[in-house]
Amino acid sequence: MNNSTRLDSLPIQFIIIVLLLTTISVSAQYITGPSTVNRGSKTIHTYYPPSGTIPFNYRWEITGDQSYRSLGGYSIEVTWSNYASSGLIKFVSFTGNAQQSVTIVAPPPPPPPPVVTNTKKCGLGTLTMVASGAPYGGSYRWYNSNNVYLGSGQTRSTTFSFSLGNPIQERIFYVSTYKNGVESAKTQVTARSYPLPSSVSAGADSTFCITDSFHFLQGYPSGGTWSGNGVFGFFSSYYFSPGTATSGQHTLTYTYTNQYGCSRSDTKIVTVRELPIVYAGEDLGLFKDGGRYNLSRVLGITESVQTNSFQLQNNNTTSVGIWSGNGVVEDGPWFNPSIVNGTSVVTYTYSDGYCSNSDNRIITTYDPPEITYQGDLVLTDDEPTEKLSSNQDYPSYQWYKDNIPISGAINKDYILSEPGNYSLKITLQGGTTRFTDPVVVYKNSDLVNYVRVRSVQQEGFMSELSVQQAPVSQVKTVTNYLDYMGRALQSVTKQFSPQKKDLVTVATYDQFGRQTIKYLPYVASYGSGAFKQFDVRDLSSSPQYLFYQNTTDKIANTKDPWSKSRVEASPLNRVIEQGAVGEDWQLRSGHTIRMDYATNSDLDDIPIWVKTAEGLKASKKYDLNTLTLNQTTNENGHLTRTFTDKRGNKLLEETEDGRGWRNINYVFDSKGRMTYVIPPQTMDMLVSSYPKFIPNTVLEQECYRYEYDYRDRVIVKQLPGAAPIFMVYDRWDRLVLSQDGNQRINDQWSFTKYDALNRPVMTGVTVLSGDRAFVQQQVDQFYDQVQVNDYLRYEELGAHQHGYTNQSFPTINAISDVILSVTYYDNYDFVYQPGWQGPMGIVKFIPELAIDEYLSRPKGKVTGTKINILGSQDYVYYVSFYDDKYRLIQSTSTNHLNGTDRYTTSYDFVGKVLQEKRTHQALNDQLIIHKEFTYDHHGRPLKTYHTINDGDKILLSDNQYNEIGELIEKNLHSTDNGANFLQSIDYRYNIRGWLKTINNPQLTFNPENNDDTNDLFGMELYYNDREATLNNSPSYNKNISAVTWKSAAQQEEQGYVYTYDRSNRLKTASYINLSDPLKNGRYSVGGLQGIIEDTGISYDKNGNILHLKRYGLLAGNTGVIDDLFYQYNGNQLISVDDSGDASLGYKTSGSIQNANIPAPNTFLGTGTNR
């Protein structure tokens, strides 16, 4: 290309320039550009004219096969030939010339194409792409999508920036590397912009405890990534580890990347807290019988009674902690050592509102300490020492003698050589201390004699020593201490009480050796079984007296815990007044039992009866002073007199009844056999003068009659108003036949057959004609054969009648006779006899309740029985199985509905029932009832569990006892093993052991007799105690003088006040309503309280009721609903007449008289009103 300008085109300019040139001196001029170029490359060259000149009419000349193009101004771009090796560039102008020589060389290889990153932009703004890969000294060239070079400046740099204005936009660029005039291949770059995620959330700030486990991190939207201290990933999930992060605040970042690869992040603050410092206290030792222990008191914790919790002071803040572990009750702070054996780890857990921490405390429970010994605690010349030991291992020991610590005696065992009172102080972990009960060691000169009985309660003992050292739950020990005359001083039952303390019964004697004071047993303060000191000179300070002053032990209290007797001043030492325990029964209180001893006087009318053919006849009475008279006045002042002959036969007994005497006369024959008992009604009808006579008709209707044969066997027995019962015996005095009045009508006799050991094996009814004497003769003649055939006197197993031989009297007729029962003994061979006829299934022993075996030949035991279902030919069958101790362990039976029943019982070593299981099998159903029983260490029943089929085990009852063994509480029905019960029944007793209260009649809490308020029923019995609101008359002979009660359903406290006649028969029962006195008397029986003309229930001399009134509600008022009058023939009730309201009470449809004629062998008929 030639860019020179023609001069003729610018004539004016030329002239001017010429003029100027003539005046300008020419300075240096040159061409710039590379002097060495590559073949085929393009280079830029620029001409620089001399200073102050302006070239015109210029041109470029380039030698060789080169081409160029003007770039404007004085610059050109030369494209060099691929073949020349040199070239010359000339600049020719009117004002001057310049040239540049260029060497053309082969080009270097092109640089590598660049790599471009950061070609994506998320969101709006500037995108700066970054190129890399240019060689050292090289640069980059950027081109647009049209491959147009974007010029110099940033286009030669590593980065290229531009703005993207739309959420989703795409632009194409090209970029190459350039060095030494060589440009690389172009790399196409696609720049894109994408939208950011719309919303990202890391969630709320969190607080963790440093010991918390890994926490799953969850952001929104899901699928992002987490970063931060303590964050780790596992598969596609992220977790935060508080322990790895350590305590303090940490910023966790959640980043979510959308489908375009654009990310947005959010942060959350996570606080990791250290655990609070918690201290559960030092390890602790407790005694199992020490009661509930407050765990909080060791921690300096203040206890809240209302919430049964406690507060722990920690860093000046207050929070509530919780105890847990074996033995902890109700989340603490109480620990019950009695339910823990050995060591328990309890945990105290405290929370500061964010984090909780725990500390463990080891609590070891121990049995109460006891001193054990091998000998008899008596030091002798042969055995001058005695070894004492503790009953188990404890942390610390200190032995004492006479309450003074023994220096150096700090081991489990101590060998002593001096008599005295020895005790052992035990110190447990945490400082709990306990002294053992002392044991008294004697020298042989101070010896107290004793007889000690040890009753082993379980098997497994192999030596006497092991028995001596066994606990009371395994061996019961009773020691009877004797004085030098061999009289009883004390009886000590070792660890009898529920708290395992000794029960002591003391005996003392007066100067004549008489035991005129008897003491209530008391419970000592310890349980060693040793002799207890008891000073008879000061009873009011004795341990026995003090025991009955305790008001919190649920035992009746008294100032007189003894009974005293007064003895007559004679060598016979007969008691003339006997008191009882308690203030009201002491001597000269007027409520003792008083005895008087005398002989009959002229005023005493005791007939001498003689039996005649017509009846009983008495021609005279017993002579003066020929009978002894014992007269007894009971606690209520009522008198009883008894006359006895020289043989010791009681002839007459007289009892007061308020209208005179009720006399019962006993008649004996010449051999001293009682033949008649004449009741009071008959005696009262006798004339006062002699002779006296009772005809046979009266004897049969009103008296008891007995006849005997020559061998003094009762052959006739007749009760009042009944026909005689005949009895027939064999020569071995076995009752073979008996017949009552009903059977006599049809010549029927009840028979009994026996085996070789005289055990009854069969009973039934047979038919024999003739009177008793004739039948007796038949029996005697039958057994005369025994001289030839001895076996005829008894039955053996055989195939004749129901599995027996039918060889003894009577011979049974299978058609006419009725077999009522059959009994089998000693073995189970009877099941193979055809006469058994029972189902074989009930003869099979079923192992259960851990009982696998039974005794196959239990000698002397009933093994099978069959009993007739009356009025049919069917029987109910029973089979009994025994263990090797001959205890019944299983019985199976059928029933009249074709079902079967099986009872299985398991026992402990001494025979206490541990489990019972009853299985009732009907045709298509089965019922199983399972009971389990537990006992305390002295054999008292504690808990009864009950399970039906596969149902839950129910704690049916849980018994509690006071220290003298009285049942004081029975808790009923628990489904959570005793934590809660449906009902709690409390029992209390008076000082004489008579039941006093069941709960209480107010159904309120009372520490004396009721420990809860949700009872369904409560009752109180009154004996000798008078209640002002009841106005009852005290009774001192155990007659109930009043009773009050309340039920939860009715919510009225009600009661009855009772009165009795002098024969202790009920006279009146007056109804009292303590909640609504207007209802008093509404339901009385016998009479209304305070109404003089109402005499109450009346009786005849025999004690039969003659008249009875019963009150009730009539038209809104109290009135008589029954006014009953009874009539008798002897003792047989003939009629009952009701004069009260016929529509209420006794339903008679009017007066009933002789509704039925009594059967010959009954007291009463069988009508609808009987």
Assign residue 169 the CATH number of its domain.
Answer: 2.60.40.10
Q: Is residue 545 part of a domain?
A: yes
**For residue 948, how many C-alpha atoms fall within 13 Å in the half-sphere facing its CB?**
2
- The verdict on pTM exceeding 0.95 is no
Integer angstrom CA distances of residue 14 from 10, 55, 208, 239 = 6, 12, 96, 89
Among 417, 443, 469, the domain-final residue is 443
Q: Pick from 199, 198, 202: which is nearest to 254 by CA?
A: 202
Separation CA 815–CA 1064 (nearest Å): 53
Q: Is residue 565 part of a domain?
A: yes
Per-residue pLDDT at 376: 67
Q: Residue 998 burial by CB count (10 A; 0-12/13-18/19+): exposed, middle or buried?
A: buried
Which SS3 state, helix, strand or coil, does residue 541 take?
helix
Together in a domain, 350 and 395? no
Together in a domain, 260 and 376? no
Together in a domain, 519 and 540? yes
Integer angstrom CA distances of residue 542 from 76, 206, 342, 549 = 142, 71, 38, 11
Per-residue pLDDT at 1104: 92
Among 168, 194, 220, the domain-final residue is 194
Domain coverage including residue 460: 448-591
Q: For strand 517-519 and strand 503-506, is the pairing parallel, antiparallel, or unpaired? A: unpaired
Tell the residue number behind the tokens 């447990």, with chain if given.
428
Q: Is residue 928 part of a domain?
A: no
To 5 degrees, how large is the angle CA 304–CA 309–CA 311? Answer: 75
Structure tokens at 126: 């500037």
Together in a domain, 157 and 233? no
Together in a domain, 567 and 476? yes
Count of domains observed in the chain: 5
**Dihedral in degrees, nearest 10, Cα atoms 152, 154, 155, 158:** 140
Together in a domain, 573 and 479? yes
Together in a domain, 452 and 577? yes
Q: Is residue 427 part of a domain?
A: yes
Residues of the chain under the 50 pLDDT cut: 1-26, 153-154, 298-319, 1090-1093, 1149-1159, 1162-1170
To 5 degrees, how large is the angle CA 1071–CA 1075–CA 1080? Answer: 25
Amino acid at 450: Y
To 5 degrees, how large is the angle CA 515–CA 517–CA 521? Answer: 110
Among 532, 559, 591, the domain-final residue is 591
What residues pair up with 364 in beta bridges, in sequence order? 285, 343
Together in a domain, 399 and 460? no
Q: Is residue 752 part of a domain?
A: no
DSSP letters along 234-256, please? Answer: ETTEEEE-HHHH-SEEEEEEEEE
Together in a domain, 574 and 461? yes
Q: For strand 302-304 and strand 293-294, is the pairing parallel, antiparallel, or unpaired? A: unpaired
Q: Pick from 1032, 1024, 1033, 1071: which is nearest to 1052 by CA?
A: 1071
What residues pair up with 257 in beta bridges, in sequence order? 263
- Strand order in 125-132's β-sheet? 115-117, 125-132, 159-164
Q: Is residue 400 part of a domain?
A: yes
Amino acid at 421: N
* Element housing 684 (H / E): helix 680-684
Integer angstrom CA distances of residue 914 from 160, 603, 889, 928, 950 = 98, 62, 11, 17, 19
Together in a domain, 363 and 425? no
- DSSP category for residue 623: P
Q: For strand 1054-1060 and strand 1042-1047, is the pairing parallel, antiparallel, or unpaired? A: antiparallel
Q: Is residue 510 part of a domain?
A: yes
Together in a domain, 485 and 423? no
Structure tokens at 383: 């055995």
Q: Pick from 991, 1021, 988, 965: which is nearest to 563 by CA?
A: 991
Separation CA 176–CA 733 (nearest Å): 142
Q: Is residue 657 part of a domain?
A: no
Per-residue pLDDT at 332: 65
Together in a domain, 455 and 576? yes
